[in-house]
């Protein structure tokens, strides 16, 4: 759709950026924090441990001051479950409560709204030992954690996100280091989707509890949503794209918003003898959780062609490589898209297409909770980082957000990944995303000092003009 005149970004648009606790904080076993699954996993070869990361635990004041200098209206960060509840349940760690009180208060001091992710890939190790999300009790574990957070922070935190990228946990758990399969498991898909079901119920209950305990607060899910294109206009390819769209995207949002399983996904699960077991009350709980908005991460689109029946489902496959499942879809390399240094496709127009599709399906305001470019940034001798490529990437994506707004989609904010350089999920510290450079290498911690990248100054101007000026 061509527009003669673009609509402006809303005046209360939440400009900000994101991080997650296990990737940015460090201090992973300090001040009473218990280990999470991230702390006990074997890190991918050639990447650093997660004990220091960007050391935000000790430098949050400096980081938040820099965010304020950029003009942030919001900061999306996650609360590490095991900082609050070292064993996942039971005793609360006062030092952990205090840390996030400090972070929240520091944000508010500058008028930055905290946007809190409740779970970002960091299941307590003690609960992993008890079966993780595969244990039906995981619903109660999570709701209890939510309650502790609402009790302690609900007076100041008005925006909450439930589970980061639940769809990626389900589709590529081993890549993130979170898949937990019980010994002797004979139907992996059934086990994975049972875990997924527990997360869905936990999310619905946490949303309902949020509304009950913190009137006026807003809460939403934070899946990774990417529109899936058909490789061609062959009807078979279109059906394959619909299949993968359902499995990758709509399952999560249909459930969060309407409280029902997507019918294509249910048919897929039936086919694999993998339908989840509902505990008494689950159906009702799923219907009772209502998001106020949709948070979503977007990096790129996916493309599919018809399955030729030979694909095998591989939860260990990187989400960027062609995936597939016999009888449902086959991943296809889109020849029209450039890629990043790390091989991720870049598709700004697909961002608009994704937003349009989501809005037509769900009619809820949306906030982008991640979007960004991972690159090998270099600090110059005079303390600069010339990340023109990142500015280019973000500018092109923001242009598409504005076009989507002009298309009539309700957008409430934009939080790219990441505010500060941090450790990637599986590609280490050298894959940087931040506006703020952190002086360390993969294994050499150096000074950990902060430097403003070129993108820092660019984003500051974007925010100061409320998105009117996206130029470099």
DSSP bridge partners of 296: 368
State which of positions 418-437 bind ligand BG6 (CB under 6 A): 424-427, 431
Minimum CB separation from ligand BG6 for residue 215, in Å?
A: 29
197, 342 Cβ separation under 8 angstroms: no
State which of positions 50-69 bind ligand BG6 (CB under 6 A): none
Minimum CB separation from ligand BG6 for residue 338, in Å?
A: 17
Number of CB atoms found within 10 A of residue 8's CB: 14
The dihedral through the CA atoms of 233, 237, 239, 243 has a sign that is negative
Considering the complex, state which of residue 23 and residue 402 has its C-beta at the smaller distance from ligand BG6. 23
57, 25 Cβ separation under 8 angstroms: yes
Residue 383, burial from CB neighbour count under 10 angstroms (0-12, 13-18, 19+)? exposed
What the block records as the tokens of 141 is 């574990």
State which of positions 278-317 bind ligand BG6 (CB under 6 A): 297
Q: List, in order, residues 6 or more apart from 173 with CB less than 8 Å away.
A: 179, 180, 192, 315
Nearest to 340 by CA among 418, 432, 423: 432
Pick one of 417, 435, 437, 458: the residue that binds ligand BG6 (CB under 6 A): 417
Under rule CB under 6 A, residue 371 binds ligand BG6: no
State which residue has the least CB distance to ligand BG6.
424
Minimum CB separation from ligand BG6 for residue 104, in Å?
A: 21
State which of positions 149-178 bind ligand BG6 (CB under 6 A): 164-165, 168
Minimum CB separation from ligand BG6 for residue 432, in Å?
A: 10
State which of positions 208-247 bind ligand BG6 (CB under 6 A): 224
Considering the complex, state which of residue 262 and residue 369 has its C-beta at the smaller distance from ligand BG6. 369
What secondary structure, in 3-state letters, does 197-210 show?
Answer: HHHHHHHHHHHHHH
Considering the complex, state which of residue 195 and residue 369 has its C-beta at the smaller distance from ligand BG6. 369
Under rule CB under 6 A, residue 340 binds ligand BG6: no
Minimum CB separation from ligand BG6 for residue 236, in Å?
A: 30
Minimum CB separation from ligand BG6 for residue 423, in Å?
A: 8
| 74-78 and 411-414 beta bridge pairing | unpaired
Pick one of 237, 305, 345, 370: the residue that binds ligand BG6 (CB under 6 A): 370
User: DSSP letters of 259-322?
Assistant: SS--HHHHHHHHHTT-PPPPPTTHHHHHHH---SSEEEE-S--EEEE---S-----TTS-TTS-
**Total binding residues toward ligand BG6, as defined by CB under 6 A:** 15
Considering the complex, state which of residue 14 and residue 169 has its C-beta at the smaller distance from ligand BG6. 169
Helix (H) or strand (E) segment spanning residue 437: strand 436-438
Nearest to 406 by CA among 345, 472, 337, 467: 467
Minimum CB separation from ligand BG6 for residue 297, in Å?
A: 6
Considering the complex, state which of residue 219 and residue 405 has its C-beta at the smaller distance from ligand BG6. 219
Torsions phi, psi for 115 (to 5 deg): -115, 105
Helix (H) or strand (E) segment spanning residue 189: helix 188-213
Catalytically annotated residues = 370
Considering the complex, state which of residue 39 and residue 165 has its C-beta at the smaller distance from ligand BG6. 165
Considering the complex, state which of residue 224 and residue 400 has its C-beta at the smaller distance from ligand BG6. 224
Residues found near ligand BG6 in the complex (CB under 6 A): 20, 23, 164-165, 168, 224, 297, 370, 374, 417, 424-427, 431
């Amino acid at each position: 759709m061509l527009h003669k005149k673009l609509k402006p970004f809303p005046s209360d648009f939440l400009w900000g950026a994101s991080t997650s606790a296990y990737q940015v904080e460090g201090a992973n076993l300090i001040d009473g924090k218990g280990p999470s699954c991230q702390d006990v996993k074997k890190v991918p070869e050639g990447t650093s441990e997660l004990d220091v990361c960007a050391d935000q635990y000790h430098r949050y004041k400096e980081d938040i001051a820099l965010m304020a200098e950029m003009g942030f209206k919001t900061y999306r960060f996650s609360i590490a479950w095991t900082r609050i509840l070292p064993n996942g349940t039971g005793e609360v760690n006062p030092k952990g409560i205090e840390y996030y009180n400090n972070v929240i208060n520091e944000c508010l001091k500058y008028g930055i709204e905290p946007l809190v992710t409740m779970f970002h890939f960091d299941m307590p190790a003690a609960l992993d030992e008890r079966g993780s999300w595969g244990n039906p009790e995981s619903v109660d574990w999570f709701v209890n954690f939510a309650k502790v957070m609402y009790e302690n922070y609900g007076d100041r935190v008005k925006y909450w996100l439930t589970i980061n990228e639940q769809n990626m946990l389900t589709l590529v758990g081993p890549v993130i280091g979170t898949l937990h399969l019980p010994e002797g498991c004979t139907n992996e898909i059934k086990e994975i989707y049972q875990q997924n079901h527990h997360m869905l119920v936990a999310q619905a209950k946490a949303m309902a509890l949020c509304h009950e305990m913190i009137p006026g607060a807003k809460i939403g899910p934070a899946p990774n949503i990417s529109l899936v294109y058909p490789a061609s206009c062959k009807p078979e390819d279109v059906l394959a794209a619909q299949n993968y769209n359902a499995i990758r995207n709509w399952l999560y949002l249909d459930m969060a918003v309407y409280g029902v399983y997507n019918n294509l996904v249910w048919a897929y699960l039936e086919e694999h003898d993998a339908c989840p077991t509902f505990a008494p009350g689950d159906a009702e709980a799923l219907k009772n959780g209502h998001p106020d908005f949709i948070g979503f991460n977007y990096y790129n689109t996916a493309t599919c062609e018809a399955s030729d029946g030979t694909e095998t489902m591989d939860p260990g496959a990187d989400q960027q490589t062609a995936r597939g499942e016999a009888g449902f879809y086959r991943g296809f390399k889109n020849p029209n898209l450039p890629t990043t240094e790390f091989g991720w496709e870049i598709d700004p127009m697909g961002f608009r297409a994704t937003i349009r599709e989501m809005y037509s399906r769900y009619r809820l305001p949306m906030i982008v909770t991640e979007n960004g470019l991972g690159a090998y940034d270099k600090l110059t001798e005079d303390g600069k980082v010339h990340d023109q490529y990142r500015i280019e990437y973000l500018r092109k994506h923001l242009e598409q957000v504005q076009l989507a707004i002009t298309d009539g989609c309700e957008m409430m904010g934009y939080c790219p990944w990441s505010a500060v350089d941090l450790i990637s999920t599986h590609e280490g510290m050298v894959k940087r995303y931040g506006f703020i450079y952190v002086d360390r290498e993969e294994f050499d911690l150096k000074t950990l000092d902060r430097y403003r990248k070129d993108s820092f100054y660019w984003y500051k101007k974007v925010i100061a003009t409320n998105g009117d000026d996206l130029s470099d």
